[in-house]
Structure formats: C-alpha cells, structure tokens
Amino acid sequence: MGRGVGVSNIFMYSKTPHFQIHQSLFKDGLKRKMKPNATDLYLFVMYEAQRYSTSIVSTTTAKVLDATGISESRFAEAREQLEELGLVRWERDKDGWLFYIDVGVTWKGLDFDTFTPDEVKKYFVDRTKDDKYTEDGNNGLWMRCPFHFTSKERQRSLSVKLIDDENTKGKKGQRGIGVWRCNNRQCKDKGRSGRLVDFEQQLMAENSVKRVTIEAAHRSVANFFASLRAGKLDVDVDKSFRDEVQVMLDGMEYDEEFSTP
C-alpha cells in the first residue's frame, strides 16, 4: 500500500502533464497478456484521447509509427490484440484509422453498441426525413439517400442494418447495428458508407462550410439518442397507416374528367 496524500489523482493539483490509463491493465492482469507493441499503441491512443478529450481517436499509420517506434509489420498485430483484450476497437478510415476506446459508456451514459433496432430506425428516419422507407426481410431498411439528388420518388438506395448479424467476414467498419451504405454509383465513388458516427459526420458536413470532426459527430449522435431515451424526441416510424393509404391511392381509378395528365 502506498503512502502520501490520499487523492484519487495524484497529479490533480500539479502542473505536471499527465494522462490516465485503465485500471484493468493491472487489476485484471491484462498487462501481463499484452505484447510490447500493443502496450505502446495503447499508451499512444490513450494519450491522444485525453489530449483531445474524446473516446474516438483519428490518426494515421505514419503518426502512430513515429510516436511509438512500432514497426509497420507489427502494427496490425498490436491493433488486433488491443481489440481482443477489449481495450480498444478500431476500423479503417479514409484518412487513416479510427480507434474507439471501450469505456463502457461513450457519452452521456450511452453504450453505442446497445442501441435497439427501433432506436436506430428512428435515428435514420429523423436524419433522412424519409417516412416512406421500405423494410427488407433481413431486418434492414431501404431509404432515400440525403447525399445525392434523384428525381425518382420511389428510389431507395440507402441501405441500413438494424441488427448485428455478424455476417461480415470480419470486415472492419461493417459490423454491428446501424451500418449503412448508399448503392448509388456517385455515392459509392465518394465512399458513402460506415456506421452511425460516419453518417452523422457526412450529413453535418453537407450543411457546413467548416470541417466537421469525428468528435463533433460523435457528440451529435449521442445527444440524439440521449434525448430520445429521455422522451424529449418523438419520431414517428409507424408506417402501417401511411402504407394502407398509399395502397388505396395507388389502386384508385380516377374519372377521366378530373384526372391529371
């Protein structure tokens, strides 16, 4: 047992720069299982996370290798071990890498991996303003994509997963609920796909002249779900009545005198 002043953070009143690491490294024996390269990568990710006050770290291979001294051939091994130990999840990003620190809750007491299909559906209905979406037989949605224009009223090119079916062959960025992609050619060319935070970031960027950070998008998604769970948002996703009316209208025979050309 240590001796000294009894405070939870010994650097609290010090001007010494510092950052925190998870107690499970030693309390649960994770450090004994970590290879040196994984330890170096974890320390770098934690440093960057607390430097920018975020649980999502966006970085590049060159920056990681320069800061840690990890060889490029060992970088993949280090990433895999951190995810295997449940410390950090990662996925490829167009600019490099995204590292997600698993802290149990990510923002406002929300675990992003526990959103329900109904909650995710409400998110996408709210963001796309599409209340005429269709549902497929694989627990997914087809919606109008907000990232490209189409004159075809019935076109639904945005695909959204509502379950984590684990049918992704281990591909990063394609696992879990809320994974989306647009099948329109111009959207494919621009890489319009990803998870909830990616969708939010790209949607925010459509309406902003400034660069939208992944951290800002993360906060925006969290705020939506926090408000939804607190009962502050009312998103109507009950299509049954609207579908019945549409079927009735589609099947109506108009008198020639009143029909429009």
Q: Which domain holds residue 187?
A: 112-244
Q: Please state the domain count of the chain.
A: 2
Cα gap 188→204, rounded to integer Å: 19
Which contacts of 126-134 are long-range, i.e. CB under 8 A and separated by 24 or more positions?
126/224, 126/233, 126/235, 127/199, 127/200, 127/203, 128/158, 130/156, 131/236, 131/237, 131/239, 131/242, 132/239, 132/242, 132/246, 133/239
Q: Give the per-residue pLDDT at 254.
A: 39
| The pLDDT of residue 249 is above 50 | no
Could you say which of 37, 69, 101 is where a domain stops? 101
β-sheet bridge partners, residue 93: 96
Q: What is the mean pLDDT of residues 18-41?
A: 88
| The pLDDT of residue 253 is above 60 | no
What predicted TM-score, i.e. pTM, was given to this entire model? 0.56
Instruction: Quick: pLDDT tens for 95-134.
Output: 789 888 765 444 455 667 778 999 999 999 999 998 889 8
Banded model confidence at residue 142, pLDDT cuts 50, 70, 90: very high
Cα gap 242→240, rounded to integer Å: 6
Query: CA torsion angle for 95, 49, 86, 165 (degrees, to 10)?
Result: -40
β-sheet bridge partners, residue 134: 142
Does residue 4 form part of some domain?
no
Q: Which amino acid would we find at residue 172?
A: K
| The pLDDT of residue 181 is above 60 | yes
Instruction: Quick: pLDDT tens for 189-212.
Output: 888 888 888 899 899 988 877 778
| The pLDDT of residue 48 is above 70 | yes
Does 80 share its domain with 172?
no
Banded model confidence at residue 247, pLDDT cuts 50, 70, 90: very low
Q: What is the mean pLDDT of residues 209-225?
A: 81
| Closest of 134, 129, 191, 188 to residue 160, by C-alpha | 134
| The pLDDT of residue 174 is above 60 | no
Does 138 share its domain with 231?
yes
Of residues 9 and 236, more confidence is placed in 236
Of residues 77 and 15, more confidence is placed in 77
Does 123 share its domain with 225?
yes
Does 138 share its domain with 220?
yes
CA atoms within 13 A on the CB side of 234: 0
Share of the chain above pLDDT 70, in %: 76
Does residue 128 form part of some domain?
yes
| The pLDDT of residue 169 is above 60 | no
Does 221 share its domain with 134?
yes
Banded model confidence at residue 165, pLDDT cuts 50, 70, 90: low
First vs last C-alpha separation in the chain: 87
